[in-house]
Structure 1
């Protein structure tokens, strides 16, 4: 086939597939079968594979995924992503309208939209081409997930019509109930725990490293906000219509309302009709329609004054308490969980609800077989909110909290001032042992991706592992005979374990699971105690001198190192090459420009994180200190700085600078 005819066929296939995507996802009016679409896509893939010179980043074939993203870089939002003020009653909306009319002396129209329950996203388009997708993050900066979002078929890669040269579209990425149920069915068939809810599953899916796996999740997207310096319309409603013309999927349920009365009618309708949707919503978003009026109203420190989220009241249902299970976590905390007669609540079947601790059981005076009221907190987590005592049987017995661990039969303990019971048998209670190992391999710790909870449980049952040090003794000969273990999966496990030996000390310290030591505390300990031996030898007085380290954490550290089995594990990890000392090469200075200078960061930082800031100080030979004093040279202030700023101003000897001035110092 001649080169020009190949190019023409490729271009025609791309144009045809993009048109069918638009018909299916935007207009909801498919004109060909799935089979016909797949056959065209397959033909296009074959042609593009044979002729890479015709590569196009917006081709429909680029949605299939397959790219691996090891790290999701942090990107600063050019336009801040504000959060919305919430209202929980119609009176709240009336009060909001009164505030609007005090500023706007003319009629106000509104646009009411469904509040999709998913993950917020900001997408950059340049010259009609999809360029970048960034999560909301903290509103100032988020994670770039461009490749993963590209796999979502609702999101156009190339726009059509008369669009501006550069702008951002913001929206919500979510998972409909059909695809959520499909994912959970597959997980259960594989022996994995089902996901809790569509919202968290959608959010977590966006951070999967393999974009081909993201595509398999079947995520959806709805776009609801145009953001740019230049706006090709005078109202929000017009922008939604233009967005649809350009190829975006906008909510077909959105409604232009001439008055707050029409808004309330919209809310009344969807308070009931939401249960017939195939996706979750948790309220209604109301926006002032006029962009001129929006500009006049402006923003508070957190939210636009021209928008409000009306949150639906939590739905409450009655069902019967069948029994109570007791779950043991990795720290030994025991959590009672109520088993319920299955009941439909906010669109899903609820069978279980956490009771948290003994005090909650006593608060409700629960009896076996009680009829209880359940609601979903934030439309997500089922919780018990009351008991129908009128239905209680006269011979029903009061629920008695267990006295011994359900897993190892050790007597439970409850310390003064703590709500939960604990199993003290931390070294030999099976859920605690497995929980510690699962924590050790988790992404924020040693990040051994090939070792999941099911694999760890299998290895524990086979007697191959009892603590994290045992991972480093595993061999191919031990693993291959096990169920669901093939040559490739075994090699991935061994490679992941070997790779973990290069993970930095602060992550290892977090990963070994000392009670009360999270990521942040681990980093602060490493700065003062650069190896595991100095930490072990530290006195309680030395420990509490470290910022954010109180007596509770100090006692926990002493208890950990006072256990001979923990000490043996630490020595074994050392011998296997795990990093239990700070890597001084990685902290080598880049310059001496800050030598002799001390720094403290306060307020909400927008150009970098606090951790990044402190690392920059160290790399340029400066020193971080934890409090405002006469020893402080520079206080770097972010948004809404508080008491530290006031104290520095009162001292008069501290130089107060902003984030950009700090960056200018280190060039």
Structure 2
């Protein structure tokens, strides 16, 4: 499988389509049919692969992306219930470092810079079926499965048959939605399968399937006969707060008569969290029910409210999954692949081995340091053991579809093996492969003369968020490049001119006819008019993704303005460089990459040949919303005491404001806390309105 940093635009697009199909099928099998077709590790790996590709190619993310879905749509046969508060999924951690990163992200978002530790709850992640129970004035009125997170299946009659679920609650808020997990114990599962076998009925593959299938019966009497259990651990809509902390709220749920997991514990700091994870992991086989990890939640409910939610997951919680399966196999070869930006990426060719239910024959080797047994800081990994062809290696797939090598067995290393020598020349064009200081990756210096880079750039150019030319995909780009028809983007728009109508030469080729050829030329003509942001992205400039292309387009508004600014800029100094660096979201690495392209004669000439053939649409400002800060450029400076800078920025952007990192004549508002310094002075000199943090909170109605 191609490493993500080497995926072409078209390959990424194709793989995302396949991943969406796989994940949708897996969700349906798991959530609707109660018959999962993938292991948890494989499912997690597919979902992480999908997220990683979307992170690299954000413009390829579809409106129906698996990363924006929770569960699966309700099946026919059950009534539907709209959740008052969405039932979200959790993001995942796969090792101790992920847990530490989770804690760091929480502290950063909240602006906690001091050493004081945060308190979290840690509880087993039950492998069952999520259920939401709605009580009004203490009476159970409805029960719903998670469904797709927004709408679930009405299983009220079935839920009433579960002994762990109270029908009436004393001293409850007027509206109370209790959420938890329906599950089945190992002993009850075995007994159920024995009874099913005796009756000639369907047996279940595992307790989770049995629990889900039992709850989602159209005849509640079948559910009543099944030994289902329920752990409560959360809540949805409530008419009044349950408590001030997660710990106190769980205790209150227990007081209402619900079973809560006895292994739930309040932990102060990440060391305590991981220690409790290890304790639960050690007891996993003796618990009597299935778990697949440990869930951590920020204990303070006020902090949970401040942290809020992403599109499908809360910021304040994460699931620390148990390790995926490991396997040993022989490393048969190391191949070097060349990506769009010239990156040389090593790939291990393995003797096929089954890992987590999937046959694996390739694994990523990241870069030359990784092969040597070094990390990005030059420190030892795998105890400093290098990786050689012929080695017996341990492969794992935790959290990623792309398998990785965890270890090397030196006792089985053949005597004739030699350390792998990473090439210093491109295997495609023989140009020097240069590794810049501070860069972990060696890159081909051939640029457009390197066929691998040229083809990958062309694939990127015609990709979905670039020119998106109907009928011109990866396969066609490769064909036209090999035939010498298209060597650079401008050639695409000269095809009709160079080859007459193109029909006679094209229609006789395999896969082409007169109609498909004519359709292609018409599709190319349609894309001669292109929005500025799509053009900038399509150029394939290193470090420029869809979002940064939009930032550049919104700031410069026209191609002429953008091109002139980049040509006038000098990396590291000058007014044009300062203006580029002043764009919030543009850093020195990205800025230098863009500027350098326009100062390379061959690259600049290629771009000029292209733009001379195009009509490039200017950026039209978006209409303002009703927010008092919508459409305004806001700068935050100094110390904010009631929220972190990240929290303030997220709030401002959610209200339609544009947050900048520097004050200029275009700035509409400076929010200045103690220590604002030069920005406050510059704002005063320019006559920019300045308010303090309390003024900001008052302005946006958040006092």
TM band (smaller chain): 0.5 to 0.7
Distance 1:295 1:594 in 2: 30
Q: Which residue of 1 aligns with 2:412?
A: 391
Residue 469 in 1 paired to residue 490 in 2? yes
Q: Which of 641, 646, 649 is the equivalent residue of 1:603?
A: 646
C-alpha contact (below 8 Å) 2:340/2:457 kept by paired residues: yes
Q: For the Cα contact (< 8 Å) 1:314–1:379, is it kept in 2?
A: no
- Is the CA contact 1:330–1:435 (under 8 Å) kept in the aligned structure 2? yes
> Residue 535 in 1 paired to residue 560 in 2?
no
Unaligned runs of 5+ in 1: 1-21, 30-56, 63-75, 93-101, 136-145, 173-222, 240-254, 289-293, 615-623
Q: 1:441 to 1:134 in 2, by over 3 A?
A: farther
C-alpha distance 626-403 of structure 1, shift in aligned 2 (>3 A):
closer
Shift of residue 329, structure 1, vs aligned partner: 0.5
Contact 1:506 1:522 (8 Å CA) reproduced: yes
Q: Cα gap change, 1:464/1:388 in structure 2, threshold over 3 Å: closer, same or farther?
A: same
Q: CA deviation at 1:427?
A: 0.8
Q: Identify which of 335, 341, 345 aligns with 2:345.
A: 335
CA contact (8 A) 1:599 1:636 kept: yes
CA displacement at 1:323 relative to structure 2:
0.5
Deviations 1:393-426 (A, max 9, x none): 2222221112322222223222233222211111
What secondary structure is seen at the aligned counterpart in 2 of 1:508?
helix
- The equivalent of 1:509 in structure 2 is 536
Return the match for 2:477 from 434, 456, 461.
456
Structure 1 residue 338: Cα displacement: 1.0
Distance in 2, matches of 1:495 and 1:236, equals: 63
1:626 equivalent in alignment to 2:661: yes
Counterpart of 2:351 in 1: which secondary structure? strand
Closer, same or farther: CA 259–645 of 1 in aligned 2, 3 Å: farther
Q: 1:426 aligns with which of 447, 461, 473?
A: 447
2:417 partner SS: coil
| Counterpart contact for 1:319–1:342, Cα < 8 Å | yes
* Contact preservation (8 Å) 2:31, 2:147: no
**1:109–1:410: structure 2 CA closer, same or farther, 3 Å change rule?**
closer
Q: Which residue of 2 aligns with 1:68?
A: none
1-structure distance, mates of 2:174, 2:517: 50
Higher relative contact order (CA 8 A, sep 6+): 2
Are 2:231 and 1:227 aligned?
A: no
Specify the SS of the correspondent of 2:422: coil
What is aligned with 1:518?
545
How far does residue 328 in structure 1 lie from its aligned partner after superposition?
A: 0.3
Report which stretch shifted further, 467-476 or 430-439.
467-476
Deviation by residue 1:347-371 (Cα, 9 ceiling, x = unmatched): 3222222222222222233333112
3-state DSSP class of the match of 2:397? Answer: strand
Partners of 1:569 and 1:416 lie apart in 2 by 28
Q: Distance in 2 between matches of 1:450 and 1:659?
A: 51
SS at match of 1:427: helix
Cα shift readout 1:298-324 (whole Å, capped 9, x = no counterpart): 848659999773431354432221100
1:613 positional shift: 2.1
RMSD of aligned residue pairs (Cα, Å) = 6.4
Distance 1:307 1:408 in 2: 48
Q: Verify: 1:547 aligned to 2:557, yes or no.
A: no
Deviation of 1:626 after TM superposition, in Å, equals 3.1
Aligned residue for 2:349, secondary structure, equals strand
SS in 2 for 1:509: helix
TM-score, normalization by structure 1? 0.54
2:657 aligns with one of 610, 613, 619: 613
Decide whether aligned partners of structure 1 residues 165 and 462 sit closer, same or farther in structure 2, where only a CA change above 3 A counts: farther
Q: Are the structure 2 counterparts of residues 645 and 322 from structure 1 closer, same or farther at C-alpha, using a change threshold of 3 Å? A: farther
1:353-432 correspondence to structure 2 within 5 Å: 353-363=363-373, 364-378=385-399, 380-432=401-453
SS state at 2:435 partner = coil
Check the 8 A contact 2:669/2:690 in 1, yes or no. Answer: yes
Q: Which residue of 2 aligns with 1:179?
A: none
Equivalent residue, structure 1, for 2:268: none
Does 2:606 match 1:561? no
Please state how far the C-alpha of 1:335 moved relative to its aligned partner.
0.6
Matched, 1:321 2:347: no
How far did residue 567 of structure 1 move? 3.5
SS of the aligned residue for 2:354 comes to: strand
Contact 1:257/1:263 (<8 A) preserved:
no
Q: Secondary structure at the match of 2:238?
A: coil
1:326 positional shift: 0.3
Provide, for residues 164-216 of structure 1, a one-character-per-residue CA deviation record: whole Å limited to 9, x for no partner: 999999999xxxxxxxxxxxxxxxxxxxxxxxxxxxxxxxxxxxxxxxxxxxx
Q: Is the 8 A contact 1:115 1:282 kept in 2?
A: no
Structure 1: distance between partners of 2:405 and 2:631: 58
Q: Flag the 1:323–1:224 CA change in 2: closer, same or farther, 3 A.
A: farther
Matches within 5 A, 1:22-41: none
3-state secondary structure, aligned to 1:454: helix
CA distance, structure 2, for counterparts of residue 79 and residue 28 of structure 1: 19
1:521 Cα deviation from its structure 2 partner? 4.0
Checking the alignment, whether the CA contact within 8 Å between 1:112 and 1:287 is kept in structure 2 is: no
- Contact 1:341–1:351, Cα closer than 8 Å, also in 2: yes
Q: Alignment partner for residue 607 of structure 2, among 561, 566, 570?
A: 570
Evaluate the alpha carbon distance shift between residue 380 and residue 263 of structure 1 in structure 2; reply closer, same or farther with a 3 A threshold.
same
Q: CA deviation at 1:129?
A: 13
Asked if the contact 1:441–1:451 (Cα under 8 Å) also holds between the matched residues in 2, the reply is yes
Contact 1:329/1:431 (CA < 8 Å) preserved in 2? yes
| Residue matched to 1:445 | 466
Residues 642-657 of structure 1 aligned to structure 2 (within 5 Å): 654-656=690-692
Q: Deviations over 1:43-90 (max 9, x none)?
A: xxxxxxxxxxxxxx999599xxxxxxxxxxxxx98899886888859x
**In structure 2, what is the equivalent of residue 207 of structure 1?**
none
Alpha-carbon distance, 1:227 to partner: 2.0
How big is each residue's C-alpha offset from its partner over 1:235-275, in whole Å with a ceiling of 9 and x where there is no partner?
99999xxxxxxxxxxxxxxx9644569999985686799xx
Partners of 1:479 and 1:168 in 2: how far apart? 64
Contact 1:112-1:256 at 8 Å conserved across structures:
no
Aligned runs of 1:20-59 on 2, under 5 Å? none
The structure-2 alpha-carbon separation of the partners of 1:78 and 1:534, relative to structure 1 and needing over 3 Å to count, comes to farther
* Corresponding residue SS for 1:374: strand
> Contact conserved, 1:345 with 1:375, CA < 8 A, in 2?
yes
1:101-112 matches, cutoff 5 A: 112=125
The equivalent residue for 2:356 is 346
Q: CA deviation at 1:333?
A: 0.9
Q: 1:344 to 1:645 in 2, by over 3 A?
A: farther
Residues 84 and 307, structure 1, Cα contact 8 Å, conserved in 2: no
The separation in 1 between residues aligned to 2:343 and 2:30, in whole angstroms, is: 50
TM-score, normalised to structure 2's length?
A: 0.52
CA distance in 2, matches of 1:260, 1:24: 26
**Aligned residue pairs: how many?**
485
Residue by residue over 1:76-120, the C-alpha shift from the partner in whole angstroms, topping out at 9 and shown as x without a partner, is 98899886888859x99xxxxxxxxx999xxx997741399xxx9
Give the conservation status (yes or no) of the 8 Å contact 1:336–1:356. yes
Please tell me whether the aligned partners of residues 670 and 683 of structure 2 are also in contact (alpha carbons under 8 angstroms): no
Judged with a 3 Å threshold, the aligned counterparts in structure 2 of structure 1 residues 590 and 171 are, in CA distance, closer, same or farther, namely same
